Amino acid sequence: MAASKVLIAPFEVTPLDIIPAVSSTARATFASHKTKDLQWRLVQLRKLYWALDDFKPSLLAALQQDLHKGGYESDFTEVDWVKNDCLHMINNLETFAKTEKLKDVPVTYSMMNFRVKKEPLGTVLIIGPYNFPVQLVLAPLVGAIGAGCTAVIKPSELTPACAMVMKEMIESRLDRNAFAVVNGAVPETNALMDEKWDKIMFTGSAQVGSIIARKAAETLTPVCLELGGRNPAFVTKKANLALAARRLMWGKCLNAGQVCMSHNYVLVDKDVADTFIEFLKISYKEMFPNGAKASPDLSRIVNARHFNRIKKMLDETKGKIVMGGQMDESELFIEPTAVLVDSLDDPMMQEESFGPIFSVYPVDNLDQALNIANAVHRTPLALMAFGDKAETTKILDEMTSGGACINDAYFHGAVHTVPFGGVGDSGWGAYRGKASFDNFTHFRTVSETPNWMDKLLRVRYMPYDWSELRFLQRWTNKKPNFDRQGTVAKGSGYWMWFFLGLGTDGGGVKGALKRWLVVVAGYYLSVYVKARRR
Ligand SMILES: NC(=O)c1ccc[n+]([C@@H]2O[C@H](COP(=O)([O-])OP(=O)(O)OC[C@H]3O[C@@H](n4cnc5c(N)ncnc54)[C@H](O)[C@@H]3O)[C@@H](O)[C@H]2O)c1
Ligand SMILES: CC1=C(/C=C/C(C)=C/C=C/C(C)=C/C=C/C=C(C)/C=C/C=C(C)/C=C/C=C(\C)C=O)C(C)(C)CCC1
């Protein structure tokens, strides 16, 4: 799609003195209750869908201008991706928003209609990063609209063209009193943080995330934090090395590796390290036959500061560059680069790359790989595992991460309908699909006591009467099926199931059915054999 002919307004910082009014307008709109109407929310989501369609040329041009992001990636992972997200919310909103009957209620209270009512949290602030400047503010917005919140968005100032197009798009197409965009950097974010919000959703670095969380704590404002991490990839001897190399290369080349989930380093079995590196080079050639610099498909680094941050990692590494290594500051170009390292202290292991460079660290075995990965960063945002079933199971069992992908680069985080989020210092909370709705929703438990029940409720009123309590307890308290050592006691119920299930408690009902099947088959076989003998 041609993106070059579109005119984008120069970046304009929102004046600090209007920020309180922007926030109070959004709060007043929420207080009017109009956002609680599902039809109102659906109309806003439908308008956002068509706004994305109509503004697509401007958004693609802005992504090209800010990040040199090609139209293909911009459409696939930003504009079209959010359109699909919008449709998913529109198509499922009624189900997500439905009041749910609570089933885990003791029979004693079952007539009190316990339920969970889904209520919008209120007015929320969405702060975005630069790497997917459209997706990472608009997907949270889809969740906020779906949940019935009003919202103010603060896009990254490092992608000014995207910020300006989104401001125009949102404020011209959505309810202006409910949704607004504030543009700017630290002073504007600080001014926004001085306002009262019902939730803050922040996507960005762990360093700024902790500033936001600290400030939010002063007013006990809940936060959803989507942060970064030093994400490991594991490649064992049993992995398909060619595929692992190709898929990991994709993960490092999409958006020039400026992807929060992409691998920082690859822990590869030392016996196959050389072969793996050869396959990386082959994949590079296949993806960029004329070299990465000449390709329209490789984004550039967002600015000189980040270019120099990445360059410094390469300058300071003690490792050996085994693929790539070219750079051109005038174009903010960095070639997809692999560095063979042998020390945990290497900057290529310790710092978040957030660019097209990664390290390859040969290991003796999977246990060593897991020890290293847990030492580098115990709670990364993502983890990628290539190996056989037993190995990938071991990796998932012995190391945590926000999300994980087996046999691919971060595909668990590429789909708009499934929950996405970090763990520990890589993030708090999740969103996307139903999780986006839940992220901005208060799950309010409601019960309703009928008038006629009052006689039954006598037991709770003063003056207390021990005999009434004992009576209630005799009828309603459940008995434990375990002793003081924590061992499950084998009572009459256990033995009944033991005999009916033909011995052992393994396999549950399915196991018992299988055993019965064997017995019945054996019986018919013996009848058949006897009949043949006659
Ligand atoms: N988990 C995720 O979904 C996810 C997605 C994308 C990026 N990230 C992470 O984000 C980082 C890169 O993005 P970035 O450089 O735009 O992040 P950043 O933290 O520098 O900036 C994010 C936002 O915070 C604002 N900001 C910056 N400094 C601030 C301060 N001192 N006080 C208040 N606000 C401030 C910026 O204006 C921007 O809008 C990487 O660490 C990456 O891993 C995480
Ligand atoms: C061919 C037919 C079919 C099968 C089609 C298949 C299997 C298609 C596969 C498509 C793939 C692999 C698409 C990849 C998409 C990648 C995306 C969208 C990446 C997204 C990246 C994101 C969101 C990044 C986020 C970054 C963050 C959060 C932080 O920085 C059938 C089976 C459909 C039948 C018809 C024919």
DSSP 8-state secondary structure symbol assigned to residue 13? P
Tokens for 456, please give them: 């039954």
- Edge-first strand order for the sheet with 100-101 is 100-101, 115-120, 441-446
The answer to whether residues 448 and 113 touch, using CB atoms and an 8 Å cutoff, is: yes
3-state SS track over 116-147: EEEEECCEEEEECCCCCCCHHHHHHHHHHHHH
Q: What is the largest CA-CA distance in the chain?
A: 102
* Average pLDDT value over all residues in the chain: 96
Task: Tell how strand 123-127 and strand 223-226 pair up.
Answer: unpaired
The answer to whether residues 346 and 314 touch, using CB atoms and an 8 Å cutoff, is: no
Q: H helices within 203-272, ranges in order?
A: 206-218, 241-253
Q: Is the pLDDT of residue 504 over 50?
A: yes
Q: Which amino acid is at 259?
A: V
How far from chain centre, in Å, is Cα 113? Answer: 34
Which ligand 2 atom is the nearest neighbour of the CA of 136?
28
Q: Which ligand has its closest atom nearest to the C-alpha of 69?
A: 2
Confidence at 280, pLDDT banded by 50, 70, 90: very high
| Average pLDDT rounded to a whole number, residues 488-501 | 81
Nearest-CA residue for ligand 2 atom 15 is 414
Confidence at 503, pLDDT banded by 50, 70, 90: confident
Question: 132: Cβ below 6 Å to ligand 2?
Answer: yes
Question: 413: Cβ below 6 Å to ligand 1?
Answer: no
409 C-beta neighbours (distance < 10 Å), count: 27
- pLDDT at residue 2, as a whole number: 47
Q: Is the pLDDT of residue 175 over 50?
A: yes
Report in angstroms the alpha-carbon separations of 237 from 392, 396, 494. Answer: 12, 17, 46
Look up the pTM and report it: 0.93
Tell me the percentage of the chain whose pLDDT exceeds 90.
92
Q: Is the pLDDT of residue 491 over 60?
A: yes
Nearest-CA residue for ligand 1 atom 36 is 156
- pLDDT at residue 29, as a whole number: 98
Residues taking part in catalysis: 226, 260
Report in angstroms the alpha-carbon separations of 314 from 211, 277, 282, 334. Answer: 29, 18, 22, 11
3-state SS assignment for residue 402: coil
3-state SS assignment for residue 499: helix
DSSP 8-state secondary structure symbol assigned to residue 10? P
Could you identify the residue written with the tokens 């693929």?
323
CA distance 25 to 28: 5
Assess: ipTM above 0.90.
Answer: yes
Q: Which of 328-332, 474-478, 495-499, 527-531 has the lowest mean pLDDT?
A: 495-499
Q: Is the pLDDT of residue 4 over 80?
A: no
CA distance 404 to 422: 10
| Average pLDDT rounded to a whole number, residues 286-296 | 98
Nearest-CA residue for ligand 2 atom 16 is 414
Question: 74: Cβ below 6 Å to ligand 2?
Answer: no
- Which string of b and e fits 94-133 if b means at least 16 CB within 10 Å? eebbeeeebeeeeeeeeebebbbebebbbbbbbbbbbbbb
CA distance 403 to 413: 7
Tokens for 281, please give them: 């080079």
Confidence at 133, pLDDT banded by 50, 70, 90: very high
The answer to whether residues 163 and 11 touch, using CB atoms and an 8 Å cutoff, is: yes
- Which residues fall within 8 angstroms of residue 63, CB to CB, at 6 or more apart? 3, 69, 74, 78, 133, 134, 159, 161, 162
Which ligand 1 atom is the nearest neighbour of the CA of 132?
6
The answer to whether residues 226 and 387 touch, using CB atoms and an 8 Å cutoff, is: no
For residues 123 and 510, the model is more confident at: 123
Q: Is the pLDDT of residue 30 over 50?
A: yes
Which ligand 1 atom is the nearest neighbour of the CA of 420?
3
Nearest-CA residue for ligand 1 atom 26 is 186
- 238-267 pLDDT, tens digit per residue, is 999 999 999 999 999 999 999 999 999 999
Q: Is the pLDDT of residue 490 over 90?
A: no
Let me know how long the chain is.
534
Q: Ligand 1 centre from 300 Cα, in Å?
A: 18
Question: 194: Cβ below 6 Å to ligand 1?
Answer: no
Give 223's strand partners: 200
Q: Which ligand has its closest atom nearest to the C-alpha of 127?
A: 1
Q: What is the rounded radius of gyration, in angstroms, for the C-alpha atoms of the chain?
A: 29
Question: 414: Cβ below 6 Å to ligand 2?
Answer: yes
